[in-house]
Every structure is written in structure tokens, then in C-alpha cells.
Amino acid sequence: MMAAPKSVVPVFAVGFCSLALFAAPLAAAPLSDTPDAAGDRGASRRVDQRFPVDGRAMVTLRNAQGRVVVKSWERSEVEVIAERASDGIEVDTAQHGNRIEVVTHLVQVGLTSPEMQANYEIHVPEETELEIRNDSGSVAVERVYSDISVDTVLSTVELSDVSGVLTVHTVDGSFVCVRCVGRIQFTSTSGGARFLQPTSQSLHAQTLSGQLFYDGPFRPNGSYVLKTASGEINVLMSEKDSVRLSAHSRKGSVENQVSLKPESHSLVPLGGVNSTGLVGTTGAGLARVELTSFSGKIRIHKRDDGSPRAQ
């Protein structure tokens, strides 16, 4: 006598079960360690939301740890894509007019550092104001043309092809500014900064022990101030620049490769290797450049027009 055939559950039924899991409370649908359940967990940890805006938008982000990437696009909306590392954190979003707020917060205690990580990819209209707090990880912003503020403890920060009032504060995170336009301000405890081909009339960078590097034009009537306590300062200049330069290191040295016209009223000796300070001008001296270090070395490198840029 032939046995009755066993019932077969169609494969597509698994998809309907997954949809039911999202609709039902979590307590009613405990997760198992099966591959399908792991896939459901991964999908539930992803956030993908869009917010239409009318006019200039503002996006604020608060995150403890992870990677943050912000890029502009031509749409009149903000897209927020987030990936949570665990169920111990949540991503909350809210819209108030043209202001979009994004916050990562803990829902469990005792999480490990990897479990606290949330990675973001955000697309915004070109003229969007950004206010980002990301304690550790990295922050990268590209082609956004409005005011940008980044506050971090350990994150590396890179701004490229941006413009506006640019304010970056780190404790031990590094900063790279590539082709930045506008007013730039950087402060840090031990982080360093590199300014590569900026177009700015106001740049102020200050750190206790980090290194500072500048390679770019000096605009007429511009002000460029680089200060560090024990770090090193490197600046590339051309003798065709129009700069009034002052460089001082209390216990370090000042090395200069650029021919400067001395100022007759200056009491600081105009010198080269191992001097503690110098003041002089190139051209008409229309831009003001101040380099200050307490115990670090200051180097002014000569850059001939057409020569390769230092990296």
C-alpha cells in the first residue's frame, strides 16, 4: 500500500512569512539562528527614507560611531540611508519643514563598540546646511554648497568641493579640506589638518599637537592663521604670491625657502634655517599669513609655478 505524500510548503511562502514578521510585534515573532532569520534581521536594521524639501534644507545628524557620507544631488529631497550593526541601537528621523533631524540612540545597555556602530549615506540638495556630530569613525562631505559644521572626537573628516562657512572641531581626529571655498575654521586637541587648494579669504586652524599643512592660493585681503603648540607647520608659497608673512616658533625653528622683502620696522630677524621668527612680504603683501608654534618646527616651502603640488 503506497504511503500518502508529505505536504510541501511552497518556497514563496517564506516571503509572505517575512512580511508578517514586520507587521507583528517583535515579541510575537522571535528570531532564530537560521539563515532566513538572519536575513530578516539584516533587512530590519536598514533605514531608507526620503524627505521632500522646498527651498534650502538643513540636516542635523547625531551618531556615536560609524561612517557618515554626505553627497549632493539635483533632487529637491533628502535621502537618509542607515545601516545599524545591532538591534541595540535605533535610528530616529524627523522632519520639521525643511529641517531633517537624524539621531542614533541606544535601546540596550552593555553593548560592545562594534554593536554601537551605525553607517550613514545621505543625499541632499546642493544648497543644504549640515550639522554633523559623529564621535568616532569617519565623515566625508562632497559637493555641498552651504554652511557645514562637523564636531567629532576621533573621526577623520574630509570635505571636498564644498563652500560656505566650514567649521570642524575634533579631539584626536584628522581633517582634510580639498578645494574648499569660503570661511574655514578648524580646532583640535591633537588632530592635524591638511588644506589642499582651498579658495578662502579666511582660514583659521589651531591644534595643540597636530600637524598643519597648507598648499593653495592666498587671496588679496585674505587672512590665514595656522597655530600649533608642539606640532609642525608646513606651508607652500610662490614668490609671485602677494603675502605679508610672519612666522614664529618659541622653542622650535623656522625654515624658509622663499625670498621675502624685510619690513624695516620689524624687530624680528629675517632669517632662514634655525631662526626663531621672521617677518616679510612677497609682492604687494595683500594677504596676511600668520604661522605660530611654541615648540614645533615651521617650514615655508618654495613652490614654483607649474611644479607638482605637495601631497
Render each residue's pLDDT in the chain as its tens digit; 311 residues: 444 444 443 433 333 333 333 333 333 333 233 334 444 555 579 999 999 999 999 999 999 999 999 999 999 999 999 999 999 999 999 999 999 999 999 999 999 999 999 999 999 999 999 999 999 999 999 999 999 999 999 999 999 999 999 999 999 999 999 999 999 999 999 999 999 999 999 999 999 999 999 999 999 999 999 999 999 999 999 989 999 999 999 999 999 999 999 875 554 444 444 447 899 999 999 999 999 999 999 999 998 765 444 44
3-state SS, residue 30: coil
Dihedral angle of Cα 173, 178, 184, 187, to the nearest 10 degrees: 10
Residue 298 lies in a domain: yes
Question: For position 30, what pLDDT does the model report?
Answer: 31
Residue 34 lies in a domain: no
Residue 42 lies in a domain: no
Spatial neighbors of 173 by CB under 8 A, at least 6 apart, are: 152, 153, 154, 155, 156, 157, 188, 191
Question: For position 305, what pLDDT does the model report?
Answer: 62
CATH number at residue 115: 2.160.20
Q: What is the number of domains present in the chain?
A: 1
Residue 39 lies in a domain: no
Question: For position 276, what pLDDT does the model report?
Answer: 79
Residue 21 lies in a domain: no
Question: For position 119, what pLDDT does the model report?
Answer: 98
* Phi, psi (degrees; rounded to nearest 5) at 251: -120, -5
* Best CA proximity match to 242, nearest among 264, 218, 225: 218
Query: Can you name the residues that pair with 84 across neighbouring β-strands?
Result: 118
Residue 49 lies in a domain: no
Q: Which three cell numbers stand for residue 168?
A: 570642524
Residue 251 lies in a domain: yes
**CB contact at 8 A, 278 and 258:** no
Residue 61 lies in a domain: yes
User: Residue 101 is part of which domain span?
Assistant: 57-302
Question: For position 165, what pLDDT does the model report?
Answer: 98
Cα separation, 162 vs 158, whole angstroms: 10
